[in-house]
Copies of this chain bind each other. A is one copy, B any other.
């Protein structure tokens, strides 16, 4: 008997070879590859909801998408294996499961956690140059944490976002739950930041700002003035995409 299913896919991908997540005719995108593979295996076209529309060059460890499908029951294990054969090695499906009909990867999500990887050393590491931002000048991690703390809570992030075309009225108010820089072995520094949602280029703008403060180019207390300015030109240069990874999405 034909019936409707709501399917959730947890996946990981390396963003280096993609022009971002969102499908875009003529260029290689994560959504494009995934939908094409799904169509090949399922024999029908599906619409994907996605938790985080990552930009070109941004990676994901715990991205979540969902879609509805009518027809025969989906065998999760077989579907995962087929998709991994078709999409690998840049995209790997971690898990596929049927979920409640009201689940939507984008709208049901209550928190997104991102990580940004820095290498703070004189010499870059060619083996990891696709997934970390190399910065030569010594960074003051304590100052970067004093900066990060000032972003906690609910703010209008107009100064730290690229406003999508044609969305002049959309709210850019977001709530940051967590923001912390962690010194790691071998001259690495990791930033973890969680919020209910992020607007476009927001993590990279915050990282760029923290790095400017860490390099003593501006004081940590500039955060408030820049937030209040509601003007993107008052923020620091944004960090490059390749250091950024979507780590985890939380659902109720």
By a beta-carbon cutoff of 8 Å, the part of chain A in contact with chain B is 12-14, 59, 61, 84, 88-94, 123-127, 129-131, 134, 245
A89: B residues at CB distance < 8 A: 124, 126, 129, 134
A37 CB to nearest chain B CB (Å) = 14
A interface SS class = mixed
Further contacts, 9 of them, CB under 8 A, given A84-B123, A89-B129, A90-B129 = A12-B126, A12-B127, A13-B126, A84-B124, A88-B124, A88-B126, A89-B126, A92-B125, A94-B123
Distance of A130 Cα from B126 Cα, bound (Å): 11
A14: B residues at CB distance < 8 A: 126-127, 129
Contact of A92 among B84, B92, B124 (CB under 8 A): B124
Distance of A134 Cα from B245 Cα, bound (Å): 21
A126 CB to nearest chain B CB (Å) = 4
Distance of A125 Cα from B139 Cα, bound (Å): 30
Distance of A84 Cα from B126 Cα, bound (Å): 11
Contact of A127 among B88, B126, B131 (CB under 8 A): B131
B245 touches A127 (CB 8 A): yes
A92 touches B126 (CB 8 A): yes
Select from chain B the residue with minimum beta-carbon distance to A126. Answer: B14
A245: B residues at CB distance < 8 A: 127
A92 CB to nearest chain B CB (Å) = 5
Distance of A134 Cα from B90 Cα, bound (Å): 13
A91 touches B12 (CB 8 A): no
A127: B residues at CB distance < 8 A: 12, 14, 59, 61, 130-131, 245
Distance of A123 Cα from B61 Cα, bound (Å): 12
Distance of A53 Cα from B89 Cα, bound (Å): 27
Select from chain B the residue with minimum beta-carbon distance to A61. Answer: B127
